[in-house]
Chain A
Amino acid sequence: MSFDVEQVRKDFPIFEREVNGHPLVYLDSANTSQKPVQVLDVMRAHQERYNGNVSRSVHTLGTESTEAYEGARARIAAFIGAASPDEVVFTKNSTEALNLVAHSAGQHLRLGPGDEVVVSEMEHHSNLVPWQLLCERTGATLRWFGITDEGRLDESGLDELITSRTKIVSLVHMSNVLGTINDISAISARAREVGALLVLDCSQSVPHLPINVAELGADLIAFTGHKMVGPTGIGVLWGRYDLLAQLPPFLGGGSMIETVTMTGTTYAAPPARFEAGTPPITQAIGLGAAVDYLTGLGMEAIHQHEQAITAYALDALTSIKGVRIFGPATTEGRGGTVSFGVDGVHPHDVGQILDALGVEVRVGHHCARPVCSRFSVPAMTRASFYLYTTTDEIDALARGLDQVRKVFG
């Protein structure tokens, strides 16, 4: 069965609307993706027919709710090739998942002065600030990989950067700005050699690529539901079970305990240990439906579609005078997120003019300010694609950029 983008678009009601009198051209999926009826229907049906709290109710609704919630966990585990559903921890988003790791792994490893945490200049703030905070709390030192002019991770100093002092390496799998997909095989091997934990921020990769954690080489990964046709308010931390079982809790409260007395508490096994309080039940079930939807289309087919769109976009953008692309120039080792600058025009102005034409792109520093600094610009314009993006939409972007040049010419 071949991938039919027009058929896919029919599943997304939002494409029926207009923006500022033009058909919606949504090129901001790296920010958040649109949602198909298959996900919206499941969430609505759950709220209307099955709503009850999970993991604590004896009654029928509570039981059905728990089955749906745990069923979603199992489907998400299968989607990423986890060894067991118990390796999937529900969080609010990637940010919370990464903060969880920074706290719990930092405490587990008793991080202190002399220890090092390694990240990269390519990180989203969500995989940078939690590690800065951890280092501030513990006295550990933060070090990082740089970025090459081509927008790749600079691994030239790998053996000097990751050493016996390194306790945690936490890297972005696919850059939310440059679109770069990092081949982490050498870093993973080096981390293993020195006994450091490897954490991957997969917020931009899990929605777009076939990912199998058994082959990835990471100990923990984080991703978020709303970038993969699921709802906001739900994210995932995956970890090797034996590792999760050693980590202390992050947030305390209901559901994460084993027994509680006034003098002390023992904690539940993972994943419950890391899910204090009533979780985002409907959102988790929605993410389960999202995973079903993506699986139905096939992640490899989605990836191939995006590669074709990306090639088309790189070609279209390169042929516009005054447009400079930040990041890899070809589709090799890169995904469907393309950031660029328009000579002499601030991205905010580019975004405004495109919006007036119904073309929705992101402008600014994309929560990755060091990446902008690396390329000596205060901000960038970013077009990002997904399973529903068409070449017509790329053409609309190119026409919009012509208009930008007219206004500011």
Chain B
Amino acid sequence: MLDGLYQEIILDHYKNPHGKGLRDPFDGEAHHVNPTCGDEITVRVNSDLSEISYDGLGCSISQASASVLHELLQGRDAATASEIHQAFVDLMQSRGQIEPDEEVLGDGIAFAGVAKFPARVKCALLPWMAFKDAAVRAGVEVGVSPEVKA
């Protein structure tokens, strides 16, 4: 059953994260914490999403998710970023009932298995929620506010 959770793609992103490290300049920054497990992430964005940088401490799921977010959203326009953000959140809240679209989600499809572990959905969403807040602070409206249930 763990094969669904720890996909090779996720472990690869965890071991070799893309775009990790905080960079200047930026227009908006947000720091999010998962109080139950202590995972932390800081995300910085530019108002045109040309740069998305991040740094964090946490489990393989949260850190790989940040890496995938960077890969999927950096350099996109706000409308496309919003669509991808929505697709990822929907996938995570599907309890494994949604077949993800690789065209939209790229490596993000590897997180389909995480949706079957309710306790880990928060881990996967942590960077995405931090990104959304950082984007708002940079003047960009992206994505949705999901009800995250532990």
Contacts and interface: CB of A to CB of B under 8 A. Distances in A.
Interface stretch (A3-11, A148-156, A364-372): A364-372
A353 B4 CA distance: 12
Interface string B48-71: 000000000111110100000000
Contacts of B63: 346
A396 to B, nearest CB: 16
Interface residues of B, number: 19
B123 A378 contact: no
A369 B11 contact: no
A348 B39 CA distance: 9
Contacts of B59: 346-349
Contact of B37 (A345, A348, A408): A348
Contact of B39 (A353, A372, A378): A378
Contacts, number: 50
Contacts of B1: 20, 356
B5 interface: yes
B95 interface: no
A364 B11 contact: no
A363 interface: yes
B6 A378 contact: no
A407 interface: yes
Interface in B16-74: 36-40, 57-61, 63
A213 interface: no
Contacts of A353: 2, 6
Contacts of B117: 352
A175 to B, nearest CB: 18
B36 A364 contact: yes
Contacts of A346: 39, 58-60, 63
B6 A407 contact: yes
Nearest to A357: B2
A379 interface: yes
Kindly name the residue among A345, A353, A379 whose own CB sees the greatest number of chain B CB atoms within 10 A: A379
A408 B11 contact: yes
A353 B63 CA distance: 17
Contacts of A352: 2, 5, 117, 120
Interface string A384-409: 00000000000000000000000110
A379 B38 contact: yes
Interface in B108-133: 117, 120, 123
Nearest to A344: B15
Nearest to A367: B36
Contact of A408 (B36, B39, B60, B120): B60
A369 B33 CA distance: 13
A272 B61 CA distance: 50
Contacts of B40: 378
B38 A372 contact: yes
B38 A365 contact: yes
Interface string A223-240: 000000000000000000
A363 B38 CA distance: 10
A363 B58 CA distance: 12
B66 to A, nearest CB: 13
Given A364-B38, A407-B2, 13 more contacts: A20-B1, A346-B59, A347-B37, A349-B60, A349-B61, A352-B2, A352-B120, A353-B2, A363-B37, A364-B37, A369-B38, A378-B40, A379-B37
16 contacts: A346-B39, A346-B60, A348-B58, A348-B59, A348-B120, A352-B2, A353-B2, A364-B36, A365-B37, A369-B38, A372-B38, A378-B38, A378-B57, A378-B58, A407-B2, A407-B11
